[in-house]
Amino acid sequence: MTGGAAEAAVKAWLESAVIGLNLCPFAAPVVRQKRLRIVVREDRTASGVLGAMIDEMLALAEPDASHHTTLIVAAGALQDFDEFLDVVAQTDGMIDQIGLRGRLPMAHFHPEYRFAELPAGDHGHWTNRAPYPILHLLREQDVSEAVARYPDAAGIPARNVARLQAMSLTAIQAAIRGKP
């Protein structure tokens, strides 16, 4: 799949799953205000994705950055979930090495995402599933401001799991594919 097709799939996922199912109540304003940057990487190796992460960390850390959050989409690599988790750990270490701990939190999504504490077939895994492996960089200041304005932000993950557990697998998969 080309970068344009991957970006379209990610945008559809954002609209139908992340925003449509309200999995992230903070996403809609960022998307609507065009404060989201999507970077599609077609590299076949993790090193290209990691290189893009460094560039995007530095860009997002700039005080005058025009965007509030960045999605790095690994369209050509990291299909294996364990390899993806290795890159997540490496990226987390890079945040420290660059000196951005406390300024750039990271979230991550994968087509095969699974939480260790949930049974294999549990619908709760779908809260972090996406059409492609995605590393999500945010700015801590923006996250803190959004959380301060949102009642019971700490309960969002549990509400998301409960919402998806109440849905049919077909409906969840349609939302992830961008077809509500």
Q: Does position 178 have pLDDT exceeding 90, yes or no?
A: no
pLDDT in tens, 29-44: 999 999 999 999 999 9
Q: Does position 1 have pLDDT exceeding 60, yes or no?
A: no
22 contact partners, CB below 8 Å, separation of at least 6: 163
Helix (H), strand (E), coil (C) string for 76-138: CCCCCHHHHHHHHHHHHHHHHHHCCCCCCCEEEECCCCCCCCCCCCCHHHHHHCCCCCEEEEE
Tokens 């988790």 correspond to what residue? 85
- pLDDT value of residue 3: 75
Per-chain mean pLDDT for the chain? 94
Q: Does position 50 have pLDDT exceeding 70, yes or no?
A: yes
Q: Does position 2 have pLDDT exceeding 80, yes or no?
A: no
pLDDT in tens, 97-146: 999 999 999 999 999 999 999 999 999 999 999 999 999 999 999 999 99
Structure tokens at 23: 């999995």
pLDDT in tens, 58-112: 999 998 999 999 999 999 999 999 999 999 999 999 999 999 999 999 999 999 9
147 contact partners, CB below 8 Å, separation of at least 6: 26, 153
